[in-house]
Amino acid sequence: MADGPRIVAELGRPETPQETADRKAAASAVYRSSQTFRNLIAALIVTVAVVTVIALGVPRGSLPDPEPVDVAASAARVQASLDHTLLVPAVPSAWRANSARIEGGMWRVVYAPEEGFVNVGQGFDVPEGWASAKLGNISPTGSVTIDGIEWDEYTISAASRTDGITYALSTDAGADAVLVYGKTNAADAAIAAEGVADQIRALREETR
């Protein structure tokens, strides 16, 4: 025996063709909505899993420090093309050399002692006042003698600069000028100054 039209309890009568179509469309919409939600949850789980794998794969800890610069070797290479004697500071072995090159019109060696940094700069055939100009046109605040060589001394307010330089020393080396400067103290600057004292004397002798 064939089934008759579906009787809906709420209506108390069989569904019309339109009501049947509407009911099926509503059921399909609910089904599609549930599938979309399930797909969204699945995609979220996959995304979290991928992010977790990437995060676990990222190396932990800080990068190793680069190899220190060989100042003497760098000076020898530059001298070969420059034909000018370059300073090679004698500093404690614990001081790391980060750079040694011609920069800003001067030979500059950058050291990292236990605290801060110390630059040793050598300007070639420079005019009087070169060191002060390099420091931002500031005047010496005093003078100090280190290993028999007199240096102009600059005590600098850190708040007045953006490069962190707090102390400097300058002196002549014949036609050249030597500038020891950085985020440093008088003791470390004196070590760097003493480390070039003999070479400064030699440069002075060359111009006599």
Which domain CATH number covers 138?
Answer: 3.40.1000
Chain center to CA of 78: 26
64 pLDDT more than 70:
no
Q: pLDDT, tens digit, for every residue of 87-111? A: 999 999 999 999 999 998 899 999 9
CA angle centred on 112, ends 182 and 194, rounded to 5°? 70
When the pLDDT of each residue in the chain is averaged and rounded to a whole number, the result is 85
pLDDT of 102 reads 95
80 pLDDT more than 70:
yes
46 pLDDT more than 90:
no
Residues 152-166: what's their mean pLDDT? 88
Local confidence band at 16 (pLDDT 50, 70, 90 cut-offs)? confident
User: Do 85 and 164 sit in the same domain of this protein?
Assistant: yes
Asked which of 6-20, 75-89, 101-115, 158-172 is least confident by mean pLDDT, the reply is 6-20
132 pLDDT more than 70:
yes
Does any domain span residue 121?
Answer: yes
Does any domain span residue 22?
Answer: yes
Q: Half-sphere exposure of residue 100, counting CA atoms within 13 Å on the CB side?
A: 21
User: Do 102 and 21 sit in the same domain of this protein?
Assistant: no
Count CB-CB contacts under 10 A for residue 84: 14
Domain extent at residue 49: 11-57
What is the reported pTM?
0.69
User: Do 84 and 147 sit in the same domain of this protein?
Assistant: yes
Report the domain count for the chain. Answer: 2
47 pLDDT more than 60:
yes
User: Do 92 and 154 sit in the same domain of this protein?
Assistant: yes
Does any domain span residue 3?
Answer: no
Residues 68-72: what's their mean pLDDT? 93
CA distances from 122 to 12, 67, 140, 148, 190 (A): 104, 24, 18, 19, 16
User: Do 80 and 110 sit in the same domain of this protein?
Assistant: yes
pLDDT of 65 reads 59
With contact defined as beta carbons under 8 Å apart, do 177 and 122 qualify?
Answer: yes
Does any domain span residue 63?
Answer: no
